[in-house]
Amino acid sequence: MHPMLNIAIRAARKAGDHVIKSLEKPQGIEVANKGSDVVTNIDHEAEAIIINSILKSYPDHCILAAESGTKEGRDKECQWIIDPVDGTKNFVRGLPHYAISIALRMRGRTEVSVVYDPSRNELFTATRGSGAQLNSQRLRTSQPRDLSGTIIATGLPFAAKQHAEALNKVQSAIFVECDDMRQSGCSALDLCYLAAGRVDGVVKLGQKPWELAAGELIAREAGAICTDFTGNTNYLTSGNIVAGNARVVKPIIAKIREHGGEALAK
């Protein structure tokens, strides 16, 4: 196992244990607004656990974390991207669908990824060039021939409501051809479920880098193509992602171009 993946797994499990244990005393969970999102004291505590675990082994590495932002280290070539609880709104409402997400980027490429679902004890991992696993079992995406019969994971643009009308037109066009759509509230797990063949495609708008970085490597290592809304690979910058096999991604991008207009053309 890649030594840095081992560190990420250890950090994710430790943070996941803390998140699950917090549910034993729900009165101790403090919720605050964070722009159009929410954050809890558990997010901050889990993030500190992850960062401390990583920096103990790699004190010179850089950090980009959902709650505490950027921490510059001496080694500028290595950056850990962390979301301590992806799906905080689900967590706060008692919906057991959220995950700890950790990715390491080296020289601008994602090398290792961990997405840990503590509610189901499902550990999704990937190392660049070595495939993706769920609890050590190899993952492969589904291979639909077109959109018919597919399940597509998507989401409402709660952080970019100005694009709601354009995205709704795109989603409606996709829905006409696919079998069904899902809005789970956790982008990291959407991408992992794509890797596991539980869904056949992912379309998400306005995502943060920490919501995509770990899951997209897991999806790609399981056989998925990941692009932005223009068919390029700038999704960590734009926050817009389409993922699936080529026969799913191509018609979805075509529908974005046809129905999304200039608002989604990035």
Q: What are the distances in angstroms from CA 61 to CA 12, 54, 77, 212, 236?
A: 17, 8, 8, 20, 20
pLDDT tens column, 189-224: 999 999 999 999 999 999 999 999 999 999 999 999
Are residue 43 and residue 158 in the same domain, yes or no? no
Which residue, chain included where needed, has tokens 């068919």? 231
| 176, burial (CB in 10 Å: exposed 0-12, middle 13-18, buried 19+) | exposed
Query: Is 192 in a helix, a strand, or coil?
Result: helix
Query: Domains in the chain: how many in total?
Result: 2
- In the chain, what percentage of residues exceed pLDDT 90? 86
Label residue 263 by pLDDT band (50, 70, 90). Answer: low
- Domain membership of residue 157 (yes or no) is yes
Could you tell me if residue 143 is inside a domain? Answer: no
In a domain, 54, yes or no: yes
For the segment 60-87, the average pLDDT, to the nearest whole number, is: 97
Please report whether residue 250 resides in a domain.
Answer: yes
83 is in an annotated binding site: yes
Owning domain of residue 185: 151-260
Q: Do residue 42 and residue 124 come from a single domain?
A: yes
Strand order in the sheet with 109-117: 69-71, 61-65, 75-86, 99-106, 109-117, 122-127, 132-134, 137-138
The Cα 177–Cα 198 span in angstroms is 18
| Residue 134 domain-assigned (yes or no) | yes
For residues 238 and 159, membership in a common domain is answered with yes
**Within 13 Å, how many C-alpha atoms sit on residue 94's CB side?**
4
Q: What is the CATH number of the domain that holds 244?
A: 3.40.190.80
Same domain, 185 and 67: no
Query: Any idea of the CA torsion for 35, 83, 152, 157, to the nearest 10 degrees?
Result: 10
Kindly state the tokens that stand for 152.
């597509």
* Average pLDDT rounded to a whole number, residues 103-120: 97
Same domain flag for 26 and 134: yes
| Average per-residue pLDDT for the chain | 94
- State the DSSP code for 263: G
Q: What is the pLDDT of residues 20-60, one digit of tens each?
A: 999 999 999 999 988 778 899 999 999 999 999 999 999 99
**At which of 107, 138, 169 does a domain end?**
138
Query: Residues 61-80: what's their mean pLDDT?
Result: 96
| Residue 166 or residue 116, greater confidence | 116
Q: Which residues contact 47 (CB under 8 A, 6 or more apart)?
A: 15, 65, 66, 67, 68, 82, 84
Do residue 118 and residue 168 come from a single domain? no
Same domain, 127 and 18: yes
In this structure, the answer to whether residues 14 and 60 fall within a common structural domain is yes
* Per-residue model confidence (pLDDT) at position 147: 96
* pLDDT given at position 260: 82
Work out the pLDDT band at 254, boundaries 50, 70, 90: very high
Of the residues 103, 138, 173, the one at which a domain ends: 138
Q: Calculate ∠ Cα 265-222-14, nearest 5°.
A: 100
Residue 261 pLDDT exceeds 90: no
- Whether 105 and 30 map to the same domain: the answer is yes
Contacts of residue 17, Cβ cutoff 8 Å, sequence gap at least 6? 118
86 is in an annotated binding site: yes
Extract the tokens encoding 179: 């079998």
Confidence of residue 101 (pLDDT cuts 50, 70, 90): very high
Helices (H), the chain: 3-22, 41-57, 88-93, 164-177, 187-195, 209-221, 235-238, 246-259
Same domain, 104 and 178: no
The pTM of this model reads 0.95
Residue 145 lies in a domain: no
Nearest partner of 205 among 243, 154, 244, 245, judged by Cα: 154
**Looking at the domain assignment, is residue 144 inside a domain?**
no
Residues 141-173 pLDDT 10s:
999 999 999 999 998 776 677 777 888 889 999
